[in-house]
Amino acid sequence: MKIVVIGGTGLIGSKTVAILREGGHEVVAASPKSGVNTVTGEGLAEAMAGAQAVIDLTNSPSFEDKAVLEFFETSGRNLLRAEAAAGVRHHVALSIVAIDRTDNGYFRAKVAQEKLITASGIPYTIIRATQFLEFLGGIANSSADANIVRLPPVLFQPIAADDIAPIVAEVALAAPRNGIIEIAGPERAPFNEIIARYLKAVGDPREVVSDPKARYWGGRVEEHSLVPLGEARLGRIDLDDWLRRSRAGA
């Protein structure tokens, strides 16, 4: 089966490409570096030729509100147009749990990306994941003021990239669901506690303060704002396992 992974050089993309290739599939790992650009449209038609499935694992180079919205709208439009022209039968995209329940600029852009997919007429599966364990450092930095990291004590359930990629590959090989599936990590705990454990483990001396009014990327969050509300598929790697694997260079 020919599968195009757009964003095939990224964190989740590179792992997904490797899994699919191991399974004997013909995989195009597409990204601007390989001459495929979803914003300009460069190389899209050539990459799509003969593909049965396309997995969108792109990310915006800028997380600024306007730039990220423009990225996911333009990228999504160009990509879906090229897929329709090539007769692609399954579009898979990685989105985020709770983007329609929590308001911030990045989540608004992911909502726009999902809307384009559902309106495209191309059979699809959207995978909504919770925050990546690989993203905890970025979250701490975005919530830090000097040596204090302020986070709300809401529930948090991060998932490892090594748990996500096999699910993305499996979903791409299965029939389109024309719907959303949710995936999350195996451990659910207060946001501030998980980030505090992470910072301590990596030797970061910043202090984490629990602050119910602290925002997440500028958006207000409540107890269940960032975790799946219904049925979710769970990964196997929790924070401690992930830290052990990271130290071992896995």
Ligand X SMILES: NC(=O)c1ccc[n+]([C@@H]2O[C@H](COP(=O)([O-])OP(=O)(O)OC[C@H]3O[C@@H](n4cnc5c(N)ncnc54)[C@H](OP(=O)(O)O)[C@@H]3O)[C@@H](O)[C@H]2O)c1
CA-to-CA dists, residue 193 to 46, 47, 180, 190, 241, angstroms: 47, 44, 29, 5, 16
Q: What's phi and psi for 104, nearest 5 deg?
A: -150, 165
Structure tokens at 129: 């994941």
Given the complex with ligand X, which of 182 and 241 has the nearer CB atom? 182
- Shortest distance in whole angstroms from residue 189 CB to ligand X: 16
- Shortest distance in whole angstroms from residue 74 CB to ligand X: 8
Residues interacting with ligand X, by CB under 6 A?
6-7, 9-13, 31-33, 36-39, 57-59, 61, 75, 94, 96, 110, 129, 131-132, 135
- Shortest distance in whole angstroms from residue 211 CB to ligand X: 21
- Shortest distance in whole angstroms from residue 19 CB to ligand X: 14
Alpha helices, H only, the chain = 11-22, 44-48, 65-86, 105-119, 136-142, 161-173, 191-201, 239-247
Given the complex with ligand X, which of 9 and 52 has the nearer CB atom? 9
Nearest residue to ligand X, scored by beta-carbon proximity: 10
According to DSSP, residue 133 is labeled G
Given the complex with ligand X, which of 36 and 232 has the nearer CB atom? 36
- Shortest distance in whole angstroms from residue 115 CB to ligand X: 15
In sequence order, what are the beta bridge partners of 56?
A: 6, 93
Given the complex with ligand X, which of 40 and 178 has the nearer CB atom? 40
- Shortest distance in whole angstroms from residue 45 CB to ligand X: 14
Given the complex with ligand X, which of 35 and 87 has the nearer CB atom? 35
Given the complex with ligand X, which of 127 and 196 has the nearer CB atom? 127
According to DSSP, residue 204 is labeled -
- Answer whether 167's CB lies under 8 Å from 127's CB: yes
Q: In the chain, count of helices (H) and strands (E)?
A: 8, 12
